[in-house]
Structure 1
Amino acid sequence: MKTKLILLALLVPCSFLFSQNYCMSNPEGFGAAATGGGNAVPVTVTNLADLTAKLKLKTPQVILVSGTINCSYTSLAVNDKTIIGLPGARLVNLDQTAVGSGILSLKSGSNNIIIRNLIFEGPGSYDVDGHDNLTSEATNIWVDHCEFQDGMDGNFDNKGDADNVTISWCKFTYLKTPKSGGTGGADDHRFSNLIGSSKTDAPADGHYSITFKNCYWAKGCKQRMPRVRNAEIHILNCLYNTSESGSVAIGLGGGTKNSTCYVEGSDFVNVDKVFKEYTSTDGGEVGIAFDHCRKSPMDFGTKVNKPSYAYTTIPLGKVEEFVSNTSCGAGATLQVSSTGLINANCTNKI
């Protein structure tokens, strides 16, 4: 359900250059209803105890993260919160045990969350059924300009009750050598983004509604970019540039509710296999459509309609240049002042 957006004018007065894409004042796509902490007075945290305490508050909060916070796995319900990383802000957990791995899990019941400009750093992939850098069962969530590095089980997964999600200008990468010999069976588990943990896993309305906009699957990503069940997915102006042998970008299984994926204006510049279907293991039906993409295969399965919501685009010919830009592209590249003011002084022009 769409609700009236509250413009975060106090916190995100982005410049006019490239403002509709690089630095958005509010989310586009399935997560467009997310308003987070709204116009609450920003507070700055520098350690895990303070961050956790602010996330647990019942009132709307705008939380600024400063510096590197060494994390232990934290799972909690979060509502009406905006989390913004100041330049260089990083959440780190290098624990490579099944129980201790992972950074943040947004439990079922979480709602209305914005996370921007943070680096999530894990210990490297190791298949022992551990935790992800970020796991979400939240509804109405916008994750923007974050970088996810070396998640042990994955970088950023959505499962359970997760729904109405926009993931924009995020970078996913694996920089550490994967650890083999895990109990899960995969010696190289650099599997970035899972949607739906099983063929029966689905939110209340039956479909995970998730938009990936201007995202970048970069060095080290092996599979799950994303891997999907029971979902309707829109992949818009995204970049795939991973040189890993045997890499698979989009994996689509029908599950119990069927799945669709509309891929638009995206560049598969370097990936071994763009699409793989998993109906033999997941059941159901799938449909994927490629609209003005580079190096994409043919459409497959059932007919997929273009999303009906309003959104902005960049030309296909500019996707690689803009999305991979190290100062004005995907990842934690926003310029944020000490008071939470976000400005985009980028020279990219459409």
Structure 2
Amino acid sequence: MKTRLFFAISFLTITTFFGQNYYMSQPEGFGSATTGGGTTSPLTIYTYAELKAAIKLSTPQVILVSGIITFPNGGAISEVFQNKTILGLPGAKLVNDNQTTGAGIFYLKNGSNNVIIRNLIFEGPGAYDVDGKDNLTADGCMNLWVDHCDFQDGQDGNFDIKGNSDNITVSWCKFQYLKAPKSGGSGGSNDHRYTNLIGSSASQAPVDGHYSVTFQNNYWGNGCVERMPRARNAELHILNCYYNTDVSSSTALGLGGGINNLTCYVEGTHFAKIKNVYKSYVSSDGGIVGVNFDSCINGVNNVGAVSKPTYNYSSFAASDVESFVTNATCGAGANLQVSSGGLISSNCGNLSINTYSLVDNLRYYPSQIENNFTIDCFNVTGKAEFQVYSVIGKQVYKITKQITKGEKIITNFSHLSSGLYICRLSVNENTANWKIIKK
């Protein structure tokens, strides 16, 4: 297991699993270290030129996208993205309907790192096999979180991960094809509605040998034919996802071993309408594939043995996946509520136990503080225990008190050294955890 997992493992004994929210304040899974632009004051952009210029800035940025931005012919933004949060205001859409090889919207070049992309609609020209570009391509991006996005009608694919990309979480995203495929492309396929590719060949892999990707609460819908995802040289966790496509020949998981082999742990996932849940590509990719289905609806037989991921994450029952993930108002897709100041919320409440909307200054993940830190418990009444742990698991702060509805817990961290800390708040029988950075 990769060294990046040590952090999660070391805190396993002090964290408590809790129900997911439609809105996640921080990524879970393999992309959990991603912080994007942090708490940088947001910059609102309205045009293609403004968007490209903001992405090219060398400093961390929180970029708020407003309205519909249509990309020019050949205008995919192909840059090294570093320390950026790109967040769509309600209704924000990025459109590139060019059917030449110049299609595509975001291309994260090799050297990209620490990128968050949320609440955006990506609209491509429809599938046309000219070996063109995808709506979103990560071609060498480390630490990436893509959340609550709607990917529609990518030319070559909707969202591909390749090159040296690694440590990625894709959550609450919807993938679909609404436009009919165009035949006669030079690539040879007349129906290239292939949505997600991980690794572009059996020999391609990131530095440590495996693409580590978490797919959480995603929805592959109508029009999707294959690649949900298609992968090799990877370690995948597919959690609480939903598959329901109207394509009669559809294939969900297409997995080959590649030169470094592949593992895939599929958990609490609902394969509602898909012809082939799993197709082996070992004959073409070589290597060994292990794929295990844990508590899934309409899963298939396991292949080999795959260990359950050791990082901390939240989940819900497979029987709830359809109602939660397909919820048009709050489920998968670009439906977050984002204020003009960048505050994020959801129109819906929590999915299971109450994990609250905890921190009134938690605007971007993780929260950066100086000395004072305020926790707003909103409608909660009961015994509250607030604890803070260092990165080696040592408790450095604790307060216990009885709170009433609407009360705030105000703490002072002036005695703490600068660095990363884990916070844990328990009220009655409910617990939530998050990270802070002490300046």
- Give me the TM-score of the superposition, normalised by structure 2: 0.75
Checking the alignment, whether the CA contact within 8 Å between 1:200 and 1:256 is kept in structure 2 is yes
Residue pairs, 1:48-67, within 5 angstroms: 48-67=48-67
Q: Is the 8 A contact 1:190 1:223 kept in 2?
A: yes
Aligned: 1:110 with 2:112: yes
Distance between the aligned counterparts of 1:148 and 1:3, measured in 2? 33
CA distance in 2, matches of 1:295, 1:185: 32
What is the aligned-residue RMSD (CA, Å)?
1.4
Residue 155 and residue 218 in structure 1: after superposition, are their counterparts in 2 closer, same or farther (change >3 A)?
same
Q: Deviations over 1:278-321 (max 9, x none)?
A: 01000111010000000111001x31111000000011111000
The aligned amino acid for 1:125 is A
- TM-superposed deviation, 1:347: 4.0
In the other structure, the counterpart of 2:182 is: 179
Superposition deviation, residue 3 in structure 1? 9.4
Question: 2: distance between equivalents of 1:339 and 1:177?
Answer: 38
Q: Counterparts of 1:19 and 1:333 in 2: how far apart (Å)?
A: 20
Aligned to 2:192, which of 162, 181, 189?
A: 189
Aligned to 2:265: 262
Relative to 1, partners in 2 of residues 1:160 and 1:231: Cα closer, same or farther, differing over 3 Å?
same
| Aligned residue in 1 for 2:417 | none
Quote how far apart the aligned CAs of 1:48 are. 1.2
Deviation at 1:349, TM superposition (A): 3.5
The 8 Å contact of residues 21 and 313 in structure 1, kept in 2 or not, is answered as no
Matched, 1:159 2:162: yes
Residues 321, 112 of structure 1: alpha-carbon distance in 2 compared, 3 angstrom cutoff: same
Equivalent residue, structure 1, for 2:130:
128
**What is the CA–CA distance in structure 1 between the aligned matches of 2:5 and 2:265, rounded to whole Å?**
21
Structure-2 residue corresponding to 1:311 = 313
Name the counterpart of 1:45.
45
Distance 2:347 2:176 in 1: 25
User: Structure 2 unaligned runs (5+)?
Assistant: 9-17, 353-439
Looking at structure 2, the residues matched to 3 and 52 of structure 1 have their Cα atoms a distance apart, in angstroms, of 36
Larger radius of gyration: 2
Partner of residue 281 from structure 1, selected from 272, 284, 290: 284
Rounded Cα–Cα distance in structure 1 between residues aligned with 2:227 and 2:30: 20
Are the structure 2 counterparts of residues 3 and 82 from structure 1 closer, same or farther at C-alpha, using a change threshold of 3 Å? Answer: farther
Q: Percent identity?
A: 61
What's the CA shift for 1:19? 7.6
Determine if the alignment matches structure 1 residue 221 to structure 2 residue 224: yes
Q: Quote the offset at 1:20 in angstroms.
A: 3.2
Structure 1: give runs of 5+ residues left out of the alignment. 6-17
SS at match of 1:30: helix
Aligned position for 1:346: 348
CA distance in 2, matches of 1:258, 1:3: 22
Q: Distance in 1 between matches of 2:35 and 2:45?
A: 20
The reply on whether 1:253 has 2:245 as its aligned counterpart is no
- The question of whether the paired residues in 1 share the 8 Å contact of 2:20 and 2:316 is answered with no
Q: Tell me the residue number matched to 2:23.
A: 23
Q: Are residue 89 (structure 1) and residue 69 (structure 2) matched?
A: no
Are 2:295 and 1:295 aligned?
no
Write out aligned runs for 1:330-345 (5 A): 330-345=332-347
* Alpha-carbon offset, residue 193 of structure 1: 0.1
Q: Which position in structure 2 is the counterpart of 1:14?
A: none
Letter paired with 1:242? T
Cα displacement string for residues 237-278 of structure 1 (whole angstroms, at most 9, x for unaligned residues): 000000201100000001111001000000000001000010
* 1:160-199 C-alpha deviation (Å, 9 max, x unpaired): 0100000000000000000011111211000000000001
1:343, CA displacement in angstroms?
1.2
**Aligned residue type for 1:66:** S
- Asked whether the 8 Å contact 2:264–2:291 carries over to 1, the reply is yes
Cα offsets for 1:192-228 (capped at 9, x unmatched): 0000000111000000000000000001000000000
Deviation at 1:4, TM superposition (A): 7.8
**Aligned equivalents of 1:3 and 1:53: distance in 2?**
37
Alpha-carbon spacing, 1:289–1:123, altered in 2? closer, same or farther (3 Å)? same
- For 1:13, the equivalent position in structure 2 comes to none
Distance, in Å, in 1 between the alignment partners of 2:293 and 2:339 is 39
Task: Give the Cα–Cα distance (whole angstroms) in 2 for the partners of residues 245 and 271 of structure 1.
Answer: 7
Residue 345 of structure 1 deviates from its aligned partner by 3.0
Please give the alpha-carbon distance, in whole angstroms, between the structure 1 residues aligned to 2:310 and 2:182: 43
Amino acid in the other structure paired with 1:255: G
Per-residue displacement from partner, 1:58-102 (whole Å, max 9, x unpaired)?
A: 11100000001112212110100001000000010000001x111
Q: What is the alpha-carbon distance in structure 2 between the residues aligned to residue 20 and residue 259 of structure 1?
A: 28
Would the aligned equivalents of 2:19 and 2:351 in 1 still touch at CA under 8 Å?
no
- Structure having the higher strand fraction is 2
Q: CA separation in 1, counterparts of 2:248 and 2:329?
A: 28
Partners of 2:332 and 2:286 lie apart in 1 by 34
